[in-house]
Amino acid sequence: MSLIMKKLMLIGKTGSGKTTLYQRLASRNLKYEKTQAIEFHNHIIDTPGEYLENRRYYSALQVTSTGADVVALVLDCKDKSSSYPPGFASMFNKPTVGIISKIDLIGNDDDYHRAEKSLRLSGIDQIFKISSLNNQGVENLIKFLQSVE
């Protein structure tokens, strides 16, 4: 990872690909690891899916985001439901982006359009399409994190 990369906080449902994306960005071996608590790494804050899935943890996400430069809402492209309520991104006083993950599994354009619509309803303007397994789209995210003021 570049030393000038901004600190990224990953938020998403359990199984959305947050930890795998962290592993890819940190050039680690990709292996499944269930995140049990908020994990602080050099340039990434990895949050457990339960923090999004249970509204009572929203304040913990909000407080934790103060240690990040950018917040990313991660959504699995095959997830037919979204845990992000409308306007969710507005609770963060940081640049907030969307990440559609697991794009190597997209069966048709409906998967992508559903995920994009969900992220846009949550208040996201900039969306990255990522496959952590194939390293697809990751370079665009890294370039963005290097350019954030």
| 109, pLDDT greater than 80 | no
pLDDT single digits (tens) 61-107: 999 999 999 999 999 988 888 779 999 999 999 999 999 999 988 77
Q: What integer pLDDT is reported at residue 74 of this predicted model?
A: 97
Q: What integer pLDDT is reported at residue 101 of this predicted model?
A: 94
Sheet holding 70-76, edge to edge: 39-40, 44-46, 8-12, 70-76, 96-101, 127-129
| 1, pLDDT greater than 50 | no
Judged by DSSP in three states, 81 sits in coil
